Amino acid sequence: MNIFKYPVNAGQASRMILGNYFRDLERAVESDVIVVGAGPSGLICAHELAEDGYNVTIIDRHLVPGGGIWGGAMSFNKVILQKDTMGILDKLAVPYQEDEEALVVSSLALASKLIFALSSQPKVNIFNLMFAEDIHCTKDRVDGVVVNNSTIEISGLHVDPMVLMAKAVLDATGHDAVLANLYSQRIPLDIRKESFMNPVQGEEDVVKNTRMIAPGLFVSGMAATNVAGGCRMGPIFGGMLLSGKKAAQLIAAYI
């Protein structure tokens, strides 16, 4: 007697994966917004925009989205947030503990809750193992991202990329500010690089520096810090969440 009344064979599984993945990918060819980088600021931005009804595509070069959240500090899996972000954590059902007038959160809980919230959103498409190798511009306005498969990047092969189009693009690529740097290779842009570590200042900076840096191109999180020369903040993540939220508001007002 078989255990499974509805067995799935290999052909079915392959057909279902290909059909469904490529349906999502085709939908992502024209999005309202593309978020490049699935760290905390990119994920929050995408979540806010999707809740407001925008179609959002998120790409991340790594196998597992979440960016710098997972590692906590020095690989100790806790991150610290200001109490001002309690409302965001509550909304995402991320558990926290209050300590020393701040919040302590498991980095595993924060990353997985954010990923879960987004992957359950019908307006959001997340593509992991996909990296942005360039930007698409029409008359200096950023209106798309040139993407390739991360395994091609890792293997160093020369394989031509594909383009995903959008009304606005967010550079949420963290410390490297990849898209801002790509833009500045063609059109002068003032990129100042991150300044010294100073968490109190850095957390203010990252939110203030979240902005549109070129028509259609926005920066959030450490990418915003990098562009504007803001201070680093170490394992304090409230600024990343508020930066993502601010990016969503700016993008919604722009598109």
Using CB under 6 A, list all residues that contact ligand 48H: 36-42, 59-62, 67-69, 131-132, 172-174, 176, 178, 197, 221-223, 232-234, 237, 240
Q: Nearest distance from residue 220's CB to ligand 48H, in Å?
A: 7
Residue 14 or 119 having the CB closest to ligand 48H: 119
Q: How far is CA 154 from CA 71, 128, 135, 147, 150, in A?
A: 22, 14, 20, 14, 6
Q: Nearest distance from residue 5's CB to ligand 48H, in Å?
A: 41
As a whole number of angstroms, the distance between CA 118 and CA 122 comes to 8
The residues with which 164 forms a beta bridge, in sequence order, are 145
Residue 60 or 143 having the CB closest to ligand 48H: 60
As a whole number of angstroms, the distance between CA 127 and CA 61 comes to 9
Q: Nearest distance from residue 73's CB to ligand 48H, in Å?
A: 9
Residue 41 or 209 having the CB closest to ligand 48H: 41
Residue 6 or 196 having the CB closest to ligand 48H: 196
As a whole number of angstroms, the distance between CA 79 and CA 234 comes to 9
Q: Nearest distance from residue 186's CB to ligand 48H, in Å?
A: 16
Q: Nearest distance from residue 87's CB to ligand 48H, in Å?
A: 19
Residue 36 or 89 having the CB closest to ligand 48H: 36
Burial class (CB in 10 A: 0-12, 13-18, 19+), 220: buried
